[in-house]
Structure 1
Amino acid sequence: MQLYNTLSAKERELLIEEAGKERLTISFYKYAHIKNPQLFRDYLFIHWNALDVLGRIYVAKEGINAQLSVPADNFEAFKQHLDSISFLEHVRLNIAIEQDNKSFLKLKVKVRHKIVADGLDDGSFDVTNKGIHVDAQKFNELIEDPDTVLVDMRNHYESEIGHFKNAITPDVDTFRDSLDVIEEDLKDHKEDKKLVMYCTGGIRCEKASAYYKHKGFKQVYQLEGGIIEYTRQVKKKNLENKFLGKNFVFDHRRGERISDHIISNCHQCGQPCDTHVNCANEACHLLFIQCEACAKAMNECCSDACKTIHALPFEEQKKLRKGKHASNKIFKKGRSEVLKFKK
């Protein structure tokens, strides 16, 4: 039985266009005890492939983390399947604010050591002893309290294009890095300040809240459902939107606009811009912010060197890449000496 993709991204893109059906982009997570992640992974692939689900799903002994898209016509069937799994029954689904039928082009269900790479020894603390979840209205009240410290638990390239006003935005590459930075910065306020955290959909804050309680913080809160759910509640309840700019998302869209503010700049010319792209040179693939004018002038590349390589015939580009490990700049998103206007 087929338990992996057989179509390329381009082939899948054509099928989506031919089908002409609207798709919903969804994310969810759940911490749970999964005894056999590989068996659960195969079970999900078989059922979700039949529903034409596409996306990136991580399964581990500690739970599941999913970002995916599903045809709108199959949403109810997909939801029923989730509800048939005991620990996923009525799980909160974060449905994207801005829809894109091509947000995902393959179904990838992978077994990982953890559903979020955090580098923590989970055996040293109780991951279920999490902080207090708050909705958008309570969150807005908390972040106006002078005794609150608001922390963005995302990485530098995420918060650069959008964050809540007055939030601490650690200049870090990984979630694990942010944990130590925040603890050090707030070590003198473990008892007298309210630690309020947020992230994209809630998964990082859930683990972080338990970690910080273990580290001695007395008042720990997290935004329920993250920025995605916050935006939905703000619109539904007509609340004040305190988020500035875009919410970075981990699919082909790379961002959802939450407010009209543009708080970042093109990394090549410095003009206001919050559009993330990947360098067109496949040997580089660096994630950075590029405006339309620079994209045209640089042929969608991050540097003159990459522009020269990208202009070569495809076969010559392949020869240059042969035997070389992918540049670590792929994983150092937005960090390169060629980006003159990176904040």
Structure 2
Amino acid sequence: MQLYNKLSAKERETLIDEAGEDRLTLSFYAYAKIGNPHLFRNHLFIAWDQMDVLGRIYVAHEGINAQLSVPAKRFEEFKKFIDNIYFLEGVRLNIAIEHDAKAFLKLKVKVRDKIVADGLNDSTFDVTNKGVHVDALKFNDLISDPNTVLVDMRNHYESEIGHFQGAIKPDVDTFRDSLPIIENDLKDYKEDKNLVMYCTGGIRCEKASAYYKHKGFKNVYQLEGGIIEYARQVEKQKLENKFIGKNFVFDHRRAEQISGDVIANCHQCGKACDTHVNCANEACHLLFIQCEECAEKMNNCCSTDCMEIAALPYEEQKALRKGKGNSNKIFKKGRSEVLKYKS
């Protein structure tokens, strides 16, 4: 019985091209108490592999976080399977605004300690005691209220290319970094301010809303379904769109256009640009913003050093990496001294 992906990304890409079928990009999450995450993980992989589902899924004792690509013709089958799992029945499926058949090229279902790493070790913290969910209309009303503090629960490289007007945007690399910073910065507002949060699809806000309630904040709200669902509701209901720029997403698309505004800059020349790329030097792989002109000039690299390495034959590049650990830059997002115009 197959329990792990056996095809390479290139092999899967070829199969997708040959099939020529539409695929839906979607995500969902649920906080729940899962007794045996490993058994649940295997159950999901077996079923989804048979449905030709691709994506990145994390399972933990605290729940599930899934980002997927599903064949359009098998969506109803997929939905029925989800609804037959007691804590996933009727779960919100955040279907992408823009679809790409190659958004994901493998099915990866992994067991983690937590579905959202938070750095917390507090047995009294109940992640299910969440804040109030609000839709796009209520969200717009709340953030127009001078008694509201709006917080972006995403990381710096996400908010750099798009965010809600007037939001506090912590300059952090990870979700766990943001929790204590926001708590300290807003400690004087626990009793009398509306604390309103948003993120990509809702999963980080839900944990954050429970955390800040746990820390004594009285009026805690989160944007239900995150930016993805907000954009859908704004379009459907013809509401005022208060999000400017792009929504960063964690698949091969890297972003969805929400408004026509370009609010970021190329990290190499400073020109208006909001296109994230990874450095072509596989030993670097730095995520940064690069315009088309710089991509051509720098051969899709972040620095001249990386250009020299990327220009070498593949076997020579491989030999240089042999026996060495990954560069620290692989795990950094737009933070490098070689990027003159980084945010």
User: Which TM bucket (shorter chain)?
Assistant: over 0.9
CA distance in 2, matches of 1:179, 1:282: 32
Q: Deviations over 1:99-157 (max 9, x none)?
A: 00100000000000000111112512221111110000000000010000000000000
Letter of the 2:29 counterpart = Y
CA distance in 1, matches of 2:306, 2:96: 33
1:270-289 to 2 correspondences below 5 Å:
270-289=270-289
State the SS of the aligned residue for 2:123. helix
1:64-83 to 2 correspondences below 5 Å:
64-83=64-83
Task: Report the equivalent of 2:323.
Answer: 323
CA distance in 1, matches of 2:49, 2:329: 33
In the alignment, structure 1 residue 36 sits paired with structure 2 residue 36: yes
Q: Deviations over 1:240-296 (max 9, x none)?
A: 000000000000000000000000000000000000000000000000000000000
Judge conservation of contact 2:287–2:333 (CA < 8 Å) in 1. Answer: yes
Letter of the 1:268 counterpart = Q
Deviates more, 1:185-194 or 1:53-62: 185-194
Cα distance, 1:6 vs structure 2: 1.1
Q: CA RMSD in A?
A: 0.6
Structure 2: give runs of 5+ residues left out of the alignment.
none
Deviates more, 1:71-80 or 1:113-122: 113-122
Task: Report the equivalent of 1:118.
Answer: 118
1:205-224 to 2 correspondences below 5 Å:
205-224=205-224
Letter of the 1:297 counterpart = K
State the SS of the aligned residue for 2:70. strand
Letter of the 1:127 counterpart = V
TM-score, structure 2 normalization: 0.99
Q: Deviations over 1:148-194 (max 9, x none)?
A: 00000000000000000000000000101111111111111111111
CA distance in 1, matches of 2:119, 2:290: 32
Letter of the 2:292 counterpart = E
CA distance in 2, matches of 1:102, 1:312: 28
CA distance in 2, matches of 1:125, 1:194: 21
Task: Report the equivalent of 2:261.
Answer: 261
State the SS of the aligned residue for 2:40. helix
Task: Report the equivalent of 1:100.
Answer: 100
Structure 1: give runs of 5+ residues left out of the alignment.
none
In the alignment, structure 1 residue 147 sits paired with structure 2 residue 147: yes
Letter of the 1:238 counterpart = K
Cα distance, 1:73 vs structure 2: 0.4
Task: Report the equivalent of 2:295.
Answer: 295
Cα distance, 1:2 vs structure 2: 1.2
Letter of the 1:174 counterpart = T
Task: Report the equivalent of 1:309.
Answer: 309
State the SS of the aligned residue for 2:81. helix
Task: Report the equivalent of 1:19.
Answer: 19
TM-score, structure 1 normalization: 0.99
Judge conservation of contact 2:150–2:196 (CA < 8 Å) in 1. Answer: yes
Cα distance, 1:329 vs structure 2: 1.4
1:160-179 to 2 correspondences below 5 Å:
160-179=160-179
State the SS of the aligned residue for 2:24. strand
Judge conservation of contact 2:161–2:262 (CA < 8 Å) in 1. Answer: yes
Cα distance, 1:207 vs structure 2: 0.6
CA distance in 1, matches of 2:32, 2:215: 22
CA distance in 1, matches of 2:253, 2:261: 18
Letter of the 1:229 counterpart = E
Deviates more, 1:270-279 or 1:121-130: 121-130
CA distance in 1, matches of 2:100, 2:129: 36
Judge conservation of contact 2:283–2:330 (CA < 8 Å) in 1. Answer: no
CA distance in 1, matches of 2:252, 2:11: 16
CA distance in 1, matches of 2:133, 2:210: 12
Task: Report the equivalent of 1:186.
Answer: 186
CA distance in 2, matches of 1:244, 1:334: 20
Call closer, same or farther: CA 1:27–1:122 in 2, change over 3 Å: farther
CA distance in 2, matches of 1:214, 1:8: 44
Q: Deviations over 1:7-42 (max 9, x none)?
A: 110110011011000000010000011111001000
Task: Report the equivalent of 2:336.
Answer: 336
Q: Deviations over 1:73-115 (max 9, x none)?
A: 0100000000111111111000000100100000000000000
CA distance in 1, matches of 2:30, 2:121: 19
Letter of the 1:266 counterpart = C
